[in-house]
Amino acid sequence: MLKIYKHLITVTGFVLVLWLIPIKAEAQDVSIGDTTVHPSGSAQIIKSLFVPGWGQVNQERLSESLFFYFSTTVYYYRTIFHYYHFKENNSPRHKNLFKINLYAALFLHSLNVMDAATHTNSRGWQGGLLSDKPLKSPWGAVSRSAMLPGWGQLYNGSYWKAAGYFLTDSYLIYKIREADVAYHRDGGSALREERSRYSWYFGIAYLMTMADAYAGAYLYKFEKALKMTIMPIIEKDKLALELYVRF
């Protein structure tokens, strides 16, 4: 099994090098009446290299982004978990599981970078101030906050909200972890209930973080759009529209 994973990593690395060689950053694609900025191909690859799924979320490929982020994160977490227990107990079982999960994490991480490299022409979100699509991607904001609480708010330009949601969710995760460690060390129904209670708190806060990111994307710079009013003019010999801009 370990040999299979090693071969997969070797092949993936080789293909990844072949993909990275011809990559060039994309330039602005400007057409009459519309300005479309393609996300830089090399930039998305570098982002996916640092954080799995980052490049895909910028390309507005949200399902792929969430898949790579959560699957890779799970395997990296399992890698650390088994490495810790291997160092504690020197167990061959944990050593083998550590290697298997590490190879799986590296394989998915490499696959994530390759996926970002093959979609360098993705346009990302193309909303507009007065268009049917809002300036910010609502589900893109939700995906970002699902990956990291507060990231969606940061994407929407709500910096204080981003800090508040990040600190709140981080604190609740810390309390869950603290209660879990105490429960496994000392036992008792009170500690188990405390862990469950904080888990519920975190679940609610996590959902609120994503819901706020969704709403914030729809309302991004909405007040500027309200400053522009189009009024119809209907007269006996004239039919027209007037645009009022309030400053």
Rg (CA), the chain: 24
Apex CA 13: angle with CA 8 and CA 19, to 5°?
125
What's the pLDDT score for residue 4? 46
pTM score of the predicted model: 0.72
Q: Kindly list the distances between the CA atom of residue 39 and the CA atoms of 24, 55, 60, 61, 110, in Å, as whole numbers in the listed order.
A: 11, 9, 10, 12, 20
The residue ranges of every structural domain in the chain are 1-124, 125-247
Q: Kindly list the distances between the CA atom of residue 238 and the CA atoms of 143, 229, 243, 245, in Å, as whole numbers in the listed order.
A: 49, 19, 16, 22
Residue 228 above 50 pLDDT? yes
Helix, coil or strand: residue 33: coil
Instruction: Give the pLDDT confidence of 16-55 residue by residue, as tens digits.
Output: 444 444 434 333 333 333 334 455 678 888 899 999 999 9
Selected residue with higher pLDDT from 23 and 125: 125
Instruction: Give the pLDDT confidence of 153-212 residue by residue, as tens digits.
Output: 999 999 999 999 999 999 999 999 999 888 878 877 888 899 999 999 999 999 999 999
CA distance 33 to 37: 13
CA distance 55 to 191: 40
What is the 3-state composition of the chain as percent helix, strand, coil, each rounded to the nearest 5? 65, 10, 25
DSSP state of 136: S
What's the pLDDT score for residue 105? 94
The H-or-E segment that residue 192 falls in is helix 189-218
